[in-house]
Amino acid sequence: MMSTLEIKGATAAVITSVVILAATFTAGGIYRNRYETETQPGTKALAAENLAVKGRGFFFQSCAHCHGRDADGGEDAPSLLKLQISGAHMALVIQSGIKGEMPSFAKKYNEQDVAAIVAYLKTLH
């Protein structure tokens, strides 16, 4: 069976791994909550509303050509109404694009602009 050193090593390994995973999930959760709160319509009413209004402008500028002015989809792009993904995931798609289907908007829009678009998309739920 395992030696004392190996058992000590296994204990240290499990404790380290659990602590690091817990810290990662805690930090990730805090970051996500902050981002979701900032882009959530209805919380911090005025700021969120302003963000969504700003996002609506960006939407018409860059997204409506393909996704439709009502965001209900176009010939080549799907509807964005009632998206079943998180705001963080929406931001990821906007920033990364979809290879061969949708361009990346990372250069055109900064983090706050993307958050504004996400805030607008959330109002479409």
Partner 1 sequence: MIPWDKLHGAMTHFPIALLLFSTACDFVSVMLKKLPFARELRSVSLYALAVAALASFGAVISGIALSKGDLWGRGDFGWHHRFVWPAFGLLVALAVWRLVVRDAMSRFGLCLYLILMLLASGLVAAAGYFGGELLLSGGGVP
Q: Is 102 helix (H, G, I), strand (E, B) or coil?
A: strand
Residues between 15 and 34 that touch partner 1 (CB under 8 A): 16-18, 20-21, 24-25, 27-34
* Candidate residues 45, 47, 73, 101; the one interacting with partner 1 per rule CB under 8 A: 101
Q: How far is the CB of 45 from partner 1 (least distance, A)?
A: 22
CA-to-CA distance for 55 and 52, rounded, in angstroms? 5
Site for partner 1 contains 43 (CB under 8 A): no
Q: By CB under 8 A, how many residues form the interface with partner 1?
A: 47
Contact 29, 94 (CB under 8 A): no
